Chain A
Amino acid sequence: MTEVRLRGVSKSFGRVHAVRELNLDVERGELVAVLGPSGCGKTTLLRAIAGFERPDAGSIVVSDEEVAGPGRFVPPERRRIGMVFQDYALFPHLTVTANVAFGLANRPREEREALTRRTLELVGLQHKSSRHPHELSGGERQRVALARALAPEPAVVLLDEPFSNLDATLRAGLRREVELILRDAEATALLVTHDQEEALSLADRVAVMREGRIVQVGAPEEVYVRPASRWAAQFVGEVNVLAGVAHGRGVETELGLFDLRAPASGAVHVAVRPEQLEVRADHDGNAEVVAREFRGHDVLYRLRHEGGRVVLVQLASLELYEVGARVFVRPAPAAVTTVVD
């Protein structure tokens, strides 16, 4: 069942078209990430769903009720959405418990207390319930913000760049934690981020957004492996875009012959991920190592191919090549590529 449905939603600020005729569906219980560079309109999209911005056109439906549409605008307090802000926006004058209970004001007292307690347990903060926000760590604040959004059992939880305020070292752990909390609560969630790793590792589906439009929606692996365009390929991870000539299910490029996911013919460009190339040491090789970025479990090399172009190659860190070494680069076995334009 579709929990959130956007059809033809547009929103401009003066001459800036933040969101253009955008369509998107979020199914119940699903975790969707909107991934795009800063300024692509993703936060405006989120704020339009929450009711903080009024769309210029189009319609927004949240659990079968149209909340924004021609001649119709439901104010945010009646939309059954829970929002987690980038800066958490916790109420500084209230304790953790009172923050979480804020959205439950009109429930009977017993229900309110039970829901608050249950939600605090869900995020593992029952022992900090009487603290004030300024006494909490960044990660704890985030969990309070999440608990506050979840407590009224909203139709959908909206998360605006939820991890950007945290140390890089904490981020991966908290990401997993937040995902588990959302799954435990069986919440429907829409998250916006500019961090592709975050989107790919967290979401059931990723919607790639550019200049106010969604350019691709799909499972994380699909978005990564089959980018819909050259831009999407470049934005979602590292990529080599190579020119080639397609003959049915194969494409001939300057680095060699790759398999094609779908048959094509004529002059094309294909997206080749760095891990789809392989390298061996060769004094008469076709490329030279110009830079090396050691990342622990793998290594990203920049190679200058004899044709003049720089190629990115990702290899396991078992065998290292020095900068300046001659190597031979070619397609990895079974490297299947996608035509990007």
Chain B
Amino acid sequence: MKSDGIDAWAILPALLAAAVAAPLVGLPLSYAVAPGALSDFSGLVPEAVGATVVVIAGAGAGTLVLGTALAALVSFCDFPGRGWIEWALVLPLAMPGYVFTLFALGLDLPGIRSSFGAVCVFTLVLYPYVYLLARAAFLAQSRTLLEAARGLGLSRRAAIARVGLPLARPAILGGVALALMEALADFGTVNLLGVPTFTDAIYQVWFIGFDRDAAMQLATLLVSVTLTLLVLERLARGRARYHQLAARGDLTPPVRLRGPAAAAAVVAPLALVGFVVAAPLAQLAAWSIEAVREGLLAPEFATAARNSVLLAAMSALLVPLAAILLAYGARASRSRTAAALARTATIGYGLPGSVVAVAVIVPLSWIERRIDGVAGTGLLLTGTVIGLFYAYLVRFLALAWGAVEASLTRIPRHLDEAARGLGSDRLDVLARVHVPLMRAGLATAALLLFVEVMKELPATLLLRPLGGDTLAIAVWQATTESLFETAALPALLIVLVGLLPVAAMLRLSGRRGAELEATQAAGTWAEELEQPEVVRA
């Protein structure tokens, strides 16, 4: 008789955690291996630090103000069309920074090729992170608190400023941190606009200087900036963990706006979304038509589209699968170590794609050389999509894990035990109980992965095998050469795919309530999609 299978299921999370965490932990080792590597690029680091600081400060302030103001508008005021506008304001999530940059460059907007231009682009496409979290926090606030402030002699506006905003502060700062992590991870926007931030510097050192150690050292610096940001966010939140006092249905009644105020409340958000989403889509469509008509499409367009879809589909399959093994392994083995390991495996979350690419290449080429020595297989890992999938796994495992774990924890453990008692082993429990119950979470994870990989640029750029261009690379390549018509169709496709999760969120938000309650386990879509960590489309 087999003794308890604990180990097999506990080992999986350990292996995955090691595979995902090891390259990142290995990054700082580059300082030991080649201490002077960065001195060849002496001007690069101060320049990168300066540009990055400007972008962080500017985009932080921009998303903070814009996101909070819009959230306050839709939470505390009522005006015609509020329900629609509330959701329309989320749409810029579907617009990758480099696609909006393509649009802005194509129109030759004045002053766009500057740090200020990059700050504007980041503010416009990243404010929804702040908006979503701030709105959720405002809506969760107890009406009695604001009424108590009114009773103490504050005007409505003063009550919002002195009670509503401070209560939402942890959520707002959390949103800003998410937006900034995206800004730090961005490569396309800053590269196209000629802003020499860290991600751009990594690319220059890698592709132009061919200096792997220097690239790793730059990546280490960028990771430490990201981690510092995370720590600051935790600290800001940790000291202000307010309890939510609101009971459901006890929302603050919004104030009805009239006349010019109401008109402004409708026009301003619509103009914003029009400028960030509708106008670029229209322009891209026009350019695409022109490109098709005049034969301006890149000859590799079909290959790039096929590559993108294949990569995205494979990742949408493989990464959620890894997430299931990770989450279920921790659950089935009931070991605390496995649970801790599962969390370790998600540290790639929010790390810039260029950092991940630089981090995975070293262990991969080491293994590759060993295999090549024995079997003569050449660039088996770094020269093929295997390296790319590995980078996607490191970068996006947390995303899939979040969706999977959220639906897994909703399944009571008694269901596992009931199935075990009825003769199912652990794999059988996973197949017959968990996977059917997690359908919604798995679909979310697959959709998010598909969209993320479709628009991923820096890691793909650094790790793609020869002839492995994707739509995102095609957009970037054509834009660097100012071939805006050529870039338009691939960009349009990326944005349309990116709208899928937002559309799903919209559709499901409409039919909450009775139906979701009835299907206690299957109705997890809306909740998951409402978590901004998960909606990174």
Q: Is A321 an interface residue (CB 8 A)?
A: no
CA distance A152 to B423 in the complex (A): 9
> 29 pairs across A/B with beta carbons < 8 Å?
A51-B421, A52-B417, A54-B4, A71-B3, A72-B1, A75-B2, A75-B5, A75-B425, A76-B417, A77-B420, A78-B1, A82-B421, A85-B414, A85-B417, A85-B418, A89-B414, A89-B417, A89-B418, A90-B418, A91-B419, A92-B519, A93-B436, A93-B521, A103-B424, A105-B428, A106-B423, A134-B518, A152-B422, A152-B423
- B-chain residues with CB within 8 Å of residue A81 when the two chains form the complex: 421
- B-chain residues with CB within 8 Å of residue A52 when the two chains form the complex: 417, 420
- A-chain residues with CB within 8 Å of residue B412 when the two chains form the complex: 87, 89
Whole-angstrom distance between the Cβ of B442 and the nearest chain A Cβ: 13
- Beyond the given A81-B421, A85-B414, A91-B437, could you list 17 further A-B residue pairs with CB under 8 A, ordered by the A residue number? A72-B3, A75-B2, A75-B5, A77-B422, A77-B428, A78-B423, A79-B421, A85-B418, A89-B415, A92-B519, A92-B522, A102-B424, A103-B421, A105-B424, A148-B418, A148-B422, A149-B421
* Pairwise interchain contact B520-A76, C-beta atoms closer than 8 A: no
CA distance A294 to B433 in the complex (A): 49
Whole-angstrom distance between the Cβ of B524 and the nearest chain A Cβ: 12
* Pairwise interchain contact A91-B420, C-beta atoms closer than 8 A: no
Name, among B415, B420, B437, the residue most crowded by chain A CB atoms within 10 Å (CB to CB): B420
Q: Which of B420, B428, B520 contacts A134 (CB 8 A)?
A: B520
Q: Which residues of B contact A (CB under 8 A)?
A: 1-5, 412, 414-415, 417-425, 428, 432-433, 436-437, 518-522
- A-chain residues with CB within 8 Å of residue B436 when the two chains form the complex: 93
Instruction: Give the A interface residue count (CB, 8 A).
Output: 31
* Pairwise interchain contact A83-B421, C-beta atoms closer than 8 A: yes
* Pairwise interchain contact B415-A91, C-beta atoms closer than 8 A: yes
* Pairwise interchain contact B522-A93, C-beta atoms closer than 8 A: yes
CA distance A75 to B2 in the complex (A): 8
Residue of A nearest to B521 (CB): A92
* Pairwise interchain contact B414-A103, C-beta atoms closer than 8 A: no
A39-79 residues at the B interface, CB under 8 angstroms:
50-52, 54, 71-79
Whole-angstrom distance between the Cβ of A312 and the nearest chain B Cβ: 39
- A-chain residues with CB within 8 Å of residue B3 when the two chains form the complex: 71-73
* Pairwise interchain contact B421-A76, C-beta atoms closer than 8 A: yes
CA distance A149 to B522 in the complex (A): 25
Whole-angstrom distance between the Cβ of B429 and the nearest chain A Cβ: 9
* Pairwise interchain contact B437-A93, C-beta atoms closer than 8 A: yes
Q: Which of B414, B420, B422, B518 contacts A75 (CB 8 A)?
A: B420
* Pairwise interchain contact B423-A103, C-beta atoms closer than 8 A: yes
Q: Which of A54, A73, A77, A85 contacts B423 (CB 8 A)?
A: A77
List the 4 closest pairs (A to B, CB-CB), nearest first: A103-B422, A89-B414, A76-B420, A89-B418
- A-chain residues with CB within 8 Å of residue B418 when the two chains form the complex: 83, 85, 89-91, 148
